[in-house]
Amino acid sequence: MNPAVNKSEDTLNKYSFNIEGGNFNDAGTVSTRIKSILKQKGLPNDVVRKSAIVCYEAEINIVSYARKGTVNLTITAETVEIEVIDEGPGIPDIEQAMEQGYSTANQQIREMGFGAGMGLHNINSYSDKFDITSEVNKGTFLKMIINNPQSTKDL
């Protein structure tokens, strides 16, 4: 099933996708869409791959922990910018959550092959710039920037 796409009217290079918390069947569909959009735009394979990896982990986090979330994709000549905003429990201690191996995942998440405390760590290492803020009982905001070293023109 394709996730809902709301394409902004002011520019052709902004996309927004909604993600439903707890919907494990659809986890990964937004990343799949983003990958094909970036490929279609002719971005370098490495940029496409990094963007898909960070988005996939963020998507798994929303499905696993949040009520709902939104992924905003902005493509410029120099960067791919991915914002992930969720409504959920938030992260009380971001530093701890960023540690490799720290996880609060339940059995269902682990059975899918996630929840080993690698998600935020991977997001951090595959982004050229990564910002995270979170408020307990409100939600979490992630911003990942992947640089495009070849600077694609005519997007």
Give the number of residues written for the chain: 155
C-alpha triplet 101, 25, 132: angle, nearest 5°: 40
- The smaller minimum CB distance to another protein, of residues 34 and 75, is found at 34
Is 114 a residue that touches another protein (CB under 8 A)? yes
Please choose, out of 6-14, 15-23, 107-115, 135-143, the segment that lies near another protein by the rule CB under 8 A. 107-115
- Partnered with residue 14 across adjacent β-strands are 74
Contacts of 13 (CB under 8 A, 6+ apart): 41, 74, 75, 76, 155
Nearer to another protein, 72 or 122 (CB): 122
Write the interaction track for another protein spanning residues 47-86; mark x where CB under 8 A is met and - where it is not: --xx-xx--xx-----------------------------
Interacting residues with another protein (CB under 8 A): 25, 27-29, 31-32, 35, 45, 49-50, 52-53, 56-57, 111-114, 116, 118-119, 122, 125-126
